[in-house]
Amino acid sequence: MAPPIAPHTIDLTINGTAHRLDVAPWTTLLDLLREDLKLTGTKKGCDHGQCGACTVLVDGKRVNSCLTLAVMKDGATVTTVEGLARNGQLHPVQEAFIARDAFQCGYCTPGQLCSAVGLMAEGHAHSAEEIRELMSGNLCRCGAYANIVAAVQDALAAQSTQREAAE
């Protein structure tokens, strides 16, 4: 038997809170969030990077947490669906999902929301067509796509109105 492999100590800022954590090299960010930190908003769908249910933001970029080894993200800032609302105020994307009824069973929703927030920060989606293409990493088995596209469109429109007002 090979000697046991020692855990690695890493620092992560998750939804604004600093954590010092001991992780085994094979622990995915998804399992760390769900099992160790009880942040079960992030969902395990396929666990192979094919469905997008596990999407979170790492240093502001949307990634599949199921294919991310936590040990590699030492020092990173992570935002999960639990961290999207600020001071009791839902994120505009969350508001838009409710207004547009952009979900049915809700299982893909945390991933859709984090993905949409990432998409808005990237700034490459403008038309419905571009939203469809750039949200294609998030599958919805209920088929709520039409309303998801509408919700993301609303959130993008609100974002540009806000930007214009700030200028």
With both helix axes pointing from N to C terminus, report the angle between 92-99 and 109-122 in degrees, rounded to the nearest 10: 130
**Nearer CB in complex with other proteins: 41/118:** 118
Of 67-75, 100-108, 144-152, 153-161, the segment contacting other proteins by CB under 8 A is: 67-75
15, 64, 80, 147: which one contacts other proteins (CB under 8 A)? 64
Q: Is 55 in the site for other proteins (CB under 8 A)?
A: yes
Other Cβ atoms less than 10 A from the Cβ of 158: the count is: 15
With both helix axes pointing from N to C terminus, report the angle between 145-166 and 109-122 in degrees, rounded to the nearest 10: 40
Q: Is 110 in the site for other proteins (CB under 8 A)?
A: no
**Pair 43, 108: CB distance under 8 Å:** yes
**Nearer CB in complex with other proteins: 26/85:** 26
Nearest to 109 by CA among 127, 91, 87, 133: 91
Binding to other proteins by CB under 8 A, coded x per residue (else -) over 2-41, reads: x--x--x---------------xxx-x-------------
